[in-house]
Amino acid sequence: MATSSARTKVVLRRHIRRAGVLRVVQPRAEATRDALLDAGRRLLNERDFDAMSIADLAAANALSVGSFYGRFRDKEAYFALLQEMVTSEWTEATLRDFDVRRLAGWSAGRIVRLVTTQVVNVYRNDRGFISAALRHASTHPGAWTPLKRAGARFANVVTALLAPRLTHLPRMARAARVRFAMQLLYGMLINAVLNDPGPLNLDDPRLEKELARALSAYLGLRPR
Partner DNA sequence: ACTATTTTCGAATCCTAATTCGAATTTTTT
Partner DNA sequence: AAAAAATTCGAATTAGGATTCGAAAATAGT
Spatial CB neighbours of 153, under 8 Å, sequence gap ≥ 6: 91, 94
Residue 84 CB, shortest distance to DNA, in Å, is 18
Residue 172 binds DNA (CB under 7 A) = no
How big is the site for DNA, counted in residues (CB under 7 A)? 27
Site residues (CB under 7 A) for DNA, limited to 71-110: 71, 74-76
Q: What does the binding site for its own copies look like in residue numbers (CB under 8 A)?
A: 48, 50-51, 131, 134-135, 137-139, 141-142, 148, 151-152, 176, 179-181, 183-184, 186-192, 194-200, 210, 213-214, 217-218, 220
Please report how the helices 171-195 and 207-219 are oriented relative to each other, as an axis angle in degrees rounded to 10.
160
Given DNA, its own copies, none, residue 25, with its beta carbon under 5 to 8 Å by kind, binds: DNA
Given its own copies, DNA, none, residue 36, with its beta carbon under 5 to 8 Å by kind, binds: none
Given DNA, its own copies, none, residue 74, with its beta carbon under 5 to 8 Å by kind, binds: DNA
CB atoms within 10 A of CB 48: 17
Site residues (CB under 7 A) for DNA, limited to 6-35: 23-29, 31-32
* CA distances (Å), origin 45, targets 151, 153, 220: 20, 25, 37
What sign for the dihedral angle of Cα 200, 205, 208, 210? Answer: negative
Q: Which stretch, 67-75, 98-106, 169-177, 204-212, contacts DNA (CB under 7 A)? A: 67-75
Alpha helices (H) along 100-170: 108-125, 127-137, 146-162
Given its own copies, DNA, none, residue 144, with its beta carbon under 5 to 8 Å by kind, binds: none
* CA distances (Å), origin 205, targets 15, 109, 193: 36, 19, 15
